[in-house]
Amino acid sequence: GNEGKALRLLKGHEEAITALEGIDGGNGSVCLVATGSADRTIRIWDSRAKKAQVFLLRGHGDAVNVLRWGDGGRSLVSGGKDKSIRIWDTRAGRLRVTVEKHFGSVHGIRVLTENAFRVGGSAASITNGSLSSGTASAATSSKESVSFVSAGRDPMMHAWTANGDCIASSSAHRGAVTFLSDIHYNLTYRLHSHSNNAIGNPLMLSLGTDNMIKIWDLKRLKAIHELSAVNNAVNNAGNNALNTTTINNTTNNATNATNNNNSINNTANNNNSNTSSINNTANNTTMATTTGTIMHNLSKAVWTGPQSFVTATSSGIVKLYENIPEAGTSTCIISDWSCKDLSTHSQGCTDLISSELFVASSSKSGKILRWSTTS
């Protein structure tokens, strides 16, 4: 196939780059890129400028694990191996606030779109140490928006405002949280078949060392369902919904692939808090009907469509989860997930991405697998 061409080489970091995040500059182009490094610095680059480096941001005491743009590019949220989360003003190039509530290295941060929902009023409120629907308590009367959620190498997940105030916390998994997925805005669900209430709130997946996949309603700040990945190798009778393509490798079994891993290892952390807890009672736990081996070490997850997502493990297993909408509607029952095997890499998965046309996974072997999401 055609080889890509480097448009520009950006130099500056003194050690390995451990995090990278671009922001859309319009017309599908990426003009600003933020990079984090094991050298404890963050650099913001403008690919259009003659001098590409716009800002050098210092503050983290250890490697930078994760970067996310916020406020439409006006801020940048970073998580580090030093257990801290830092919010940066990208217009002035300075640190706005530092927060430390995780017990270990922070590796997961997800930012919600502006005005996705507000805490207070008719959205979600904190009452008696937990979250519920209804009128805001005095503690949340400022009606500040939940801006982002974070996770690290401990069981905790925290919800934050753009100013760095922790609104709520949850013991999300029985063990460390290993990954937070992208946020999904296009799934309408009902909690069970006899419910008349269709809900269309932003959803996110979390993965843990307990081999559980949890689905979070971020407006309600609640785990609404969980799936067990143990013995989750599904009966593969019938056709998979995704068609597989192997890139840069002609064999079906990746046993002889060249090991040229260039992945960024975003290992993370967490710290304690005394804030209100997120209601973490999932309505149901699903264990898919399966035969096969145990699915170890969930490491990545990505939404692939309105009612589907894909997971990958550090041992190389890739699986598709689907939820078929009710007849004549676009609404699904949140507990009705089926699971299909997509593939098994010979070595661990390093990344998982999705677009309107395909989902792709890479592995430590250097092999990339791609599945079409169109028929």
Task: Locate 216 and state its tokens.
Answer: 């979070």
Assign 38 a pLDDT band (cuts: 50, 70, 90): very high
Q: What is the mean pLDDT of residues 17-33?
A: 81
* The most confident of 7-11, 46-50, 83-87, 249-253, by mean pLDDT: 83-87
* Per-residue pLDDT at 292 exceeds 70: no
| 331-333 and 188-190 strand pairing | parallel
271 has pLDDT over 90? no
Q: What's the pLDDT at 235?
A: 32
Confidence (pLDDT) at 2: 66
Predicted local confidence at residue 229, as pLDDT: 82
pLDDT of residue 142: 41
- pLDDT for 169 beyond 60: yes
Pairing of strands 285-287, 222-228: parallel
pLDDT for res 12:
92
Q: How far apart are CA 146 and CA 223, in angstroms?
A: 16
70-88: per-residue pLDDT in tens? Answer: 988 899 999 999 999 999 9
Query: Above 50 in pLDDT, residue 285?
Result: no
Instruction: Provide the pLDDT confidence category of residue 309 given band limits of 50, 70 and 90.
Output: very high
pLDDT confidence tier of residue 47, bands split at 50, 70 and 90: confident
Q: With 50 as the cut, is the pLDDT of residue 65 above it?
A: yes
Phi, psi dihedrals of residue 65, rounded to the nearest 5°: -95, -35
Q: How far apart are CA 43 and CA 57, in angstroms?
A: 6
256 or 200: which leads in pLDDT: 200
- pTM attached to this predicted model: 0.78
| Phi and psi angles of residue 139, each rounded to the nearest 5 degrees, phi first | -65, -20
CA distances (Å), 320 to each of 1, 30, 220, 247, 302, in order? 27, 29, 26, 19, 10
Rounded to an integer, the average pLDDT of 13-33 is 83
Whole-number pLDDT of residue 302: 95
Tokens representing residue 198 in the block: 């269709």
Q: Which helix (H) or strand (E) element contains residue 249?
A: none
Q: What is the pLDDT of residue 116?
A: 58
pLDDT tier at 375 (50, 70, 90 boundaries)? low
The pLDDT score that the predictor gives to residue 128 is 31
| DSSP H or E stretch at residue 353 | strand 349-354
Cα separation, 204 vs 306, whole angstroms: 13
Per-residue confidence (pLDDT) for residue 28, from 0 to 100:
60
pLDDT at residue 145, as a whole number: 78
